[in-house]
Structure 1
Amino acid sequence: MMQFYKKRDFGSFISDTFNFFKLYGKNYFKNYLLINGLLLTLIVVVTVFGFRNLFGQMMGSNLDGQSSYFEQYFEDNMAIFIVTVILVFLLYSALMIVNFLFPVFYAKRVSEGNFKIKTDDILGDFKKNAGKIFKLYLGLTFLVIPASVIIFGISYILIFILIGLVVILFVAPTLFNVITFLTYDYFNSNRGFFESLSYSIRSQFSYKNGRESSPYWKYWGASIIFVIMYYVISMVFTMVPMFMYLGTITTSTPDAGFEHNPMEGSFGVIIFVIYGISSLIMMLFMNLLYINSGLMYYDSRTDLHQQVELAEIDTIGNNE
């Protein structure tokens, strides 16, 4: 059993994140895959059959210096392309909502003492909070994410004067924590969207009681560790299908010309399936970042630490 509402230091965030999955990982990922499985399958199928030929024409024509062929192909298949983009957008939106909120609902149930969580329990949380989820989606889509993109974009531009690299190392983990804190607080408190947004920003730099030292550095330190791990692993899984594709290009006959499309046939399907599997693995790994940030949120809720400790003492007394 893990205690959620308590003070943690830098090392505890990392060790407790792995401990969380050691204790609850089997049940967690079982429910996660059951809920996300259909959406993931639909996305892979739509992407494979909707974009395979398009990417093949794009890569093939560019390699042969025949961009006009790609433009003609794009114009001839505009309707299919638009429908595919809309389907992928809707499916990805649904997937991102489920993927982002699943850790929040799961951790909330575990923190409340529910250790035998079923898929129906999590689905029930989604249905019960449908209105709040819609408001969160609007707030993130039209306010938080655009603001984050602007801030991150400015930091990226600063790379040209070198200081940007340092700025991004601080901005990226902090923005990620603000967004996840917002989500955790929105569904773990009675605050509205803007109140939770305000809390998520303030809690990065100070505890609510204002008497303890700033938690920023331990939050940032734990986050950057997992961000670096995620980046390294994602690079590995991204490079595998890319090398396979480049290997096919270099071994194909030089006179194949534009007619040769390496993305056609079974090879194109294999490439997209590998990308699909890679995406699934990276989505699974993202749960470490979500849970790690969730533990930071529970650390920030000092107003509930003592209440939980007293409740646990009462429980021990009753058991005796």
Structure 2
Amino acid sequence: MIALFKKRRFNDYLNDTFDFFKKDGKHFFGAYFTINGVFLLLLTVFIYFISKVYFEVIFSEINNNGNSSYNYAETFLSENFALIIFGGFFFVLLTLLFTLINFAFPVIYLSEYEKNNGANFSSKEIFKRLKAKAGRLFLFFILSLFIIAPILMIIFAILILLCFIIIGIPLLMIAIPLLFSLMSLTLYHYLNNEDGFFSSIGKAFGYIFNQFWPIVGSTMIMYMIIQVTLTILSMIPYVIAMVIIFTSANTSGSSDTEALSSLGITMTILFVFTTILNYVFNNLLMINQGMMYYSRREHIENKSSFYEIDSIGNHFE
């Protein structure tokens, strides 16, 4: 197993994250898709149909030179108003629920991983812990939404304004990973302890500012790795699809309507694909934050020394 309680430096955060997925990634994602599979499937279906309708409206305007796009949109809205309202409400609810579970899953997984000395547990145990922590998870979301989110919006608004005098650009590059780590480490502490929300934020501040640059730098690099990978994975099929669509249109003499229809379907599928990948790749960031959480706990609790003593005792037995 990967030792969670370990004093880490900058490169250790990255190396241990990738080592974890090399060793236990199959078990992790097996449990991830078992628990999140239904939510992911429903979300995929909703995103597909929403994207499909959106691109139909957009390409209808292009195809008809803007003459009937508004009529198409108004007709669709009037005929499906109730369905759109109900579907939109359900989609937002589903997205929020899945996002919460998606962020909480790595936290619970690492907690079970540490408790069982490795990947010696099933997805049922993770599901039980998720149910047990559902109340605290919901409270975390509410407090974050109504207290932390407005503060973060003000901070980002100031930083964006500062970008006009250059200084805001480096500050923004530091603020994004810093605030992500702050909220992630708060969630780790909040779900793994009985401390309150604001006490957990205080603990997260302590974790970060005792090792500021390794934590912020590791988070920034992990985020960049994920974004570059996502860009490559989404651009390759996009370019191939564009070449096939326009080549076939030119050789077969297909109409502009058919070409735009094919383009719309391609864009819809790619949007669904990249959305799913974003959720899946988010696990790399959260496991990376988990390495930071357990590393900072090791500095405080020094648990690895106790594990070594226990292992010596087991060898003598």
Q: Same fold (TM over 0.5)?
A: yes
1:72 to 67, 71, 74: 74
Structure 2: distance between partners of 1:261 and 1:178: 49
Q: Which residue in 2 is equivalent to 1:120?
A: 124
Q: Which residue in 2 is equivalent to 1:211?
A: none
Q: Which residue in 1 is equivalent to 2:141?
A: 137
Whether 1:283 and 2:279 are equivalent positions in the alignment is: yes
Q: 1:220 to 1:303 in 2, by over 3 A?
A: closer
Whether 1:83 and 2:86 are equivalent positions in the alignment is: yes
Q: Which residue in 2 is equivalent to 1:101?
A: 104
Cα contact 1:32–1:102 (8 A) shared by 2: yes
Question: Structure 1: where are the runs of 5+ without partners?
Answer: 207-214
Q: Which residue in 2 is equivalent to 1:212?
A: none
SS of equivalent to 1:115: coil
Q: 1:200 to 1:75 in 2, by over 3 A?
A: same
1:194 Cα offset (Å): 1.3
Structure 2: distance between partners of 1:153 and 1:249: 42
Whether 1:38 and 2:34 are equivalent positions in the alignment is: no
1:151 to 139, 152, 155: 155
Letter of the 1:231 counterpart: Q
1:302 Cα offset (Å): 4.2
1:141 Cα offset (Å): 2.1
Q: 1:184 to 1:263 in 2, by over 3 A?
A: farther
SS of equivalent to 1:204: helix
Q: 1:221 to 1:303 in 2, by over 3 A?
A: closer
Q: 1:25 to 1:156 in 2, by over 3 A?
A: same
Q: 1:46 to 1:289 in 2, by over 3 A?
A: same
Structure 1: distance between partners of 2:258 and 2:161: 37
Letter of the 1:61 counterpart: E
Structure 2: distance between partners of 1:156 and 1:198: 26
Q: Which residue in 2 is equivalent to 1:315?
A: 311
Q: Please list the CA deviations of residues 152-188 of structure 1 after superposition, one character each: whole Å capped at 9, or x if unmatched.
A: 2332232222222211110000011001101100122
Structure 2: distance between partners of 1:241 and 1:72: 33
Cα contact 1:54–1:74 (8 A) shared by 2: no
Q: 1:60 to 1:8 in 2, by over 3 A?
A: same
SS of equivalent to 2:209: coil
1:93 Cα offset (Å): 1.1
So what's the TM-score if we normalise by structure 2? 0.86
Whether 1:192 and 2:206 are equivalent positions in the alignment is: no
Structure 2: distance between partners of 1:34 and 1:270: 28
Structure 2: distance between partners of 1:169 and 1:196: 24
1:71 Cα offset (Å): 4.5
Q: Which residue in 2 is equivalent to 1:172?
A: 176
- The structure in which a higher percent of residues are helix is 2
Q: 1:269 to 1:65 in 2, by over 3 A?
A: closer
Q: 1:245 to 1:36 in 2, by over 3 A?
A: farther
Letter of the 1:32 counterpart: Y
1:33 Cα offset (Å): 1.1
Q: 1:261 to 1:184 in 2, by over 3 A?
A: farther
Q: For structure 1, which segment, 277-286 or 236-245, has the greater mean C-alpha deviation from structure 2 after superposition?
A: 236-245
Letter of the 2:66 counterpart: G
Q: Which residue in 1 is equivalent to 2:222?
A: 226
Letter of the 1:65 counterpart: G
Aligned length in residues: 308
Q: Please list the CA deviations of residues 211-260 of structure 1 after superposition, one character each: whole Å capped at 9, or x if unmatched.
A: xxxx101111111111111222233344457654698589598985xxx4
So what's the TM-score if we normalise by structure 1? 0.85
Question: Structure 2: where are the runs of 5+ without partners?
Answer: none
Equivalent positions of 1:10-29 (< 5 A) are 10-29=10-29
SS of equivalent to 1:301: helix
Letter of the 1:120 counterpart: K
Q: Which residue in 1 is equivalent to 2:292?
A: 296
Whether 1:57 and 2:57 are equivalent positions in the alignment is: yes
Cα contact 1:226–1:289 (8 A) shared by 2: yes
Cα contact 2:113–2:119 (8 A) shared by 1: yes
Structure 2: distance between partners of 1:73 and 1:163: 49
Cα contact 2:245–2:263 (8 A) shared by 1: no
1:83 Cα offset (Å): 2.2
Cα contact 2:59–2:264 (8 A) shared by 1: no
Letter of the 2:200 counterpart: S
1:236 to 206, 218, 232: 232
1:313 Cα offset (Å): 0.8
1:181 to 185, 193, 208: 185
